[in-house]
Structure 1
Amino acid sequence: MELLRNIAQQPANSSNKTCEPNPQRSCEMQRKKTEDHSHAPAEMARIVTDPATGKCYCRGKVLGKGGFAKCYEMTDLSTSKVYAAKIIPHTRVSKPHQREKIDREIELHRVLHHKHIVHFYHHFEDKDNIYILLEYCSRRSLAHILKARKVLMEPEVRYYLRQIVSGLKYLHEQEILHRDLKLGNFFVSESMELKVGDFGLAAKLEPAGDRKKTICGTPNYLSPEVLNKQGHGCESDVWALGCVMYTMLLGRPPFETTNLKETYRCIREARFSLPSTLSSQARQLISSLLAKTPEDRPLLDHILRHDFFTQGFMPERLPASCCHSAPDFHVSSPAKSFFKKAAAALFGGRRDKVKYYDTLNKLTKEEEDIYKLRRDLKKTVITQQQTKQLTEDGRTPSPSAERAVAASTEGLPSTTRDTIRLIVRGSLGSCSSSSECLEDSTTGSVAETVASVLRGCLENMPKVDDIPKGTGCGNLQWVTKWVDYSNKYGFGYQLSDHIVGVLFNNGTHMSLLADKKTVHYYAELGQCSVFYTSDVPEQFVGQVTVLKYFAHYMEENLMDGGDLLSQADTHMPRLYLLQWLKSDRALMMLFNDGTFQVNFYHDHTKIILCTQKEEYMLTYINEERVSSTFRLSSLLSAGCPADLRQRMEYSLNMLLQRCN
């Protein structure tokens, strides 16, 4: 038996005899051997007996070390069940307060029962040690994983954080503070399930006035209020969660410095850096978790509703390979077979509703299936083509439009009249058909033209208190829904006429028309390939699958962003995305025909600048999702209130950031 062969592997200075295949006899032999060699250190005994039950356990390899104890593999010889045994020598807890600490840990931990908390099985002691038998997590801890990996990807961080929050929420509901949340105390099971463990510093939550003011925990993860001896609350665990998230994403704690005094200074000031390599959602969540004032940190219930989780992919499972290497998203043949069946059920033919939702859940959560999509995308990447910039469109306004401009600008300075003529004319230069996969100068020319128009309006527009009277919006196309999956695939969006588009990370673009049957594919400037979902070319199967996935996800999970409507056009889509940019306040989207949309996160207001009948129009969707559309020339003459002007100025700054 492999188990008994392992038992027989004694230290070099011990007997080389093989243990008998009878566990009870092995136990007796070891006890006799211990008596005959009483001079040997007690902690070296391989076989340990519970005096109360008579059960024998075999001590295995060291799993970890702590201040008072070491943790070993421990196997029940009667059942072969493996535990993680925390072994504390009596000599290490000889003082009353030390023993009280161990007793408190046992009393707190033994009553906890949650799938994301390390399970407490049993404890006993003999004349040498105290033994605490815990759930064995064969993948060790997140500290071991990060040591091998250096940094983790955002989907992995979502996966682990979701489980940490679940376990931590349970602890807080039991009025228990962990007080030592760190990577080394998050253990990973054989099935890659995370468990919160090590309750050596845990304590019951006390009323605000009676909270413990002892400074305890790991220095890099201490909160400002703990350092300032203001007491521990649930907010201190939330702070530590922010440190954990930061460390997983960047490979180092947020307040780590060359000396402890400086680290504590940074913690007290909540001073840390957030590199631009992180997504804006990750930066926002970390900033909220590491808020200096405890009351400003989010509640656990709110954390999983943050954009970091809702706007990004979160796998249901991770492959074991993630413990030692970055995911290559390789899936086995059975997973491929499953994915094909799931995709067929989701995207083709008639669907049973229950099976549909079951399949949809798998597609949105199952890690291996999503990884398969990414694998397909890698096979269909098209090399970025170098193309010549198109010549200017050369459109001219109609005579009636010119006369209207002349009448409305009479008496104004010549520079203002020129700006209004540019706004009315709507000349977009080379932007009539361009794509992100083209030379950057093409996209830049679109951005520069729109920025010039918007700047001209803002520089000459008077300040007023009331918003001018709006006009009809016509057949306006704008983005009603969007999903940022750029950490894997690209940026997806739905237009108001129900066309769904995806700007892939490889620079190509696909649109699924409102008929849900026709696909338009843009790989080169001005070149559009058209095919049908019933007959997808082999090289596009992966991308079409992702396109449909985006469409279904937005249809089932997202609500429209306002009240504007437009008629679906089943012919060539007029809009496809050239560029998108996210800041901590807003999302900017720039389209091929110069349509420019900015969505503001905090109040869900939106600005849409586009051309209709050779005239620039600006649509504003307010907090109540009610829209107003204005001729830009009217705004330039009549002005607009401060809140709209501020949004226009911010939009211009985002656009200028793209131009630069």
Structure 2
Amino acid sequence: MELACYTQPHPFHCSLMGSEPYPPFPAAGAAQHQHQPQPSRARAEPQQPAPPQPRAAEPTRMIADPLKGRLYCKGRLLGKGGFARCYEMTDVNSNKTYAVKVIPHSRVAKPHQREKIMNEIELHRGLHHKHIVKFSHHFEDSENIYIFLEHCSRKSLAHIWKARHTLLEPEVRYYLKQIISALKYLHLKGILHRDLKLGNFFVNDNMELKVGDFGLAARRESMDQKKKTICGTPNYLAPEVLHRQGHGPESDVWSLGCVVYTLLCGNPPFETSDLKETYRCIKQVEYTLPAFLSTPAKQLITGILKRNPSDRLTLEEILDHEFFTKGYTPDKLPPSSCVMVPELNPPNPAKTLFAKVTKTLFGKKKPTIKKGPSEEKDDISKLVVGLMKTSICRQMSYKTVEGNEVTPVTCPSISCSPVETLAEEGSRKSVSRSIRGTAASSCEAFEECIPASAVTESAIGLLKSCLSSMPPAQRNPASLACHEHFAWVSKWVDYSNKYGFGYQLSNHRIGVLFNDGTHMALSADRKMVHYNLTNSKHFAFPMSAIPEQLQSQTSVLRYFASYMEQHLMKGGDLPSIDEIEHPALLLLQWVKTDQALLMLFSNGTLQVNFYNDHTKVILSKPDHSCLLTYVTKDRNSYTYKLSSIRELGCSPELQYRLKYVLKLLQERADT
């Protein structure tokens, strides 16, 4: 089955109503704030995960170096492995903080176990590189061996991945360059790391990456000698390691490819629920590349994950790959990127007219005093009310760019609320901007999920066949008097520059596709919340029993529901359907261009909303006979069998829209 696909927001994407920063989305488990999807002029600091507290069974105590007499204050637990635990420790005299690996003597009682620890110490103390965790010193007392290492305050890429699920390509390039720099140094010194994974890439206070944990590292005695021990983390093991053919530098490169895949796609490439099946997939190099990945990213991953080690890209070839040479790599990432999608600023970004308008409206940013959640919420509400009262959308005209031609577009008359106009019409203010997202479900309460790529391919085939064979006509065929009702998007809110894309279905179900690819839905009766983590993990909770980890997302979901209900008009006269009678569907992917919004759903439905006149085209298959529904600019809807249009033709205005939808789908299929 194809992996669920999703894409992070474009780095140039600005809010619909202003370019000022929004309140950040709290990480799972962080303090709950009910943020609202309107712009705020007050900058809020990103929520950082609360540091874990020391365990009650392991109270803070003093550790003394028996030879030098230096005292260290033992702090919180940072992590634990098979032989050791890692603690934060502070030198009492210098106040310097270390990450200290503590190995009980009882765990290394056998000679070969102690030899392993001593080899790790000897190897690590000889490494001096900007992107390798610095070794400081070590000592023993009657209970433990203590290895003092550089403290990385922002934990590891594993923690960042857990909070974010996926990273943007520029972020992956940023981290990957630093990892490769460290690996080149190690390999030149004849050292194999043998356990490259997210948890062994640490991030310091300056957002610099450091490769660490050399517990499985080993030296190559000669170029012909290879280490044949099976060691490392199962999901990242190379085929030759599993076949006991030896572990060389190419095996580290394989693990690096798995890391790249995991950061971009959200899961390791060979992960299954069964270890034997995982090993089989690795040996057969059997994995799936999600459709949402860029072509250079796909080519990079396939170039690394080759069964034959000699066929893999080298570290130098990775850096020379199109993924790096034609992609933007930031010089530094903001600390907030540890828990939320960063706002990156590549050199010479395109400046849209809307950005200029909002700069004129709001002026320069002013320093603000940090406010509490309730004050922040009040400020946001006041701003939106002010925008509605002044009806800003009536005072602005916008431009879209198609090729080299610049065409002025006048804002429509106020037949809808200003907020709705901003929500729908504002989406065309950026030049040919495409933003996508994905989620899927395997729960029986949801319709059988069709991959987004399959929906796209099917729609392309149907529209091609229809447009190529239908005769000329000046009017549409007769609309169906009665047909099976289907679910469609009646309202939507684009807040993807911070949280995600919200929508309301015609059955009154509310859905949000968050930027990290997860999907959350609120039932029509507002009693149940459905949460989709991946294409195989679906959870349902009563509204009264939402887990603490999902409280923040639920707050956003509830506010989206309230906002759309109060401020947005229904997008047409299509009848609503009962949620009980119709299986729930999920938004798989959405794409915004300068003219329209395209949405693909898990049941194969495709909907395209045109901004300029609010017309809509919906392709659906309620009875496996494709239907085409057209919502006109006066919000009246007409449903036809697509086969009837193919045989009888349709009006020029509908034909124009069908051709545009086909072109859009073909462009998406080629990327």
Normalising by structure 2, what TM-score? 0.46
Normalising by structure 1, what TM-score? 0.46
Structure with higher RCO (Cα < 8 A, 6+ apart): 2
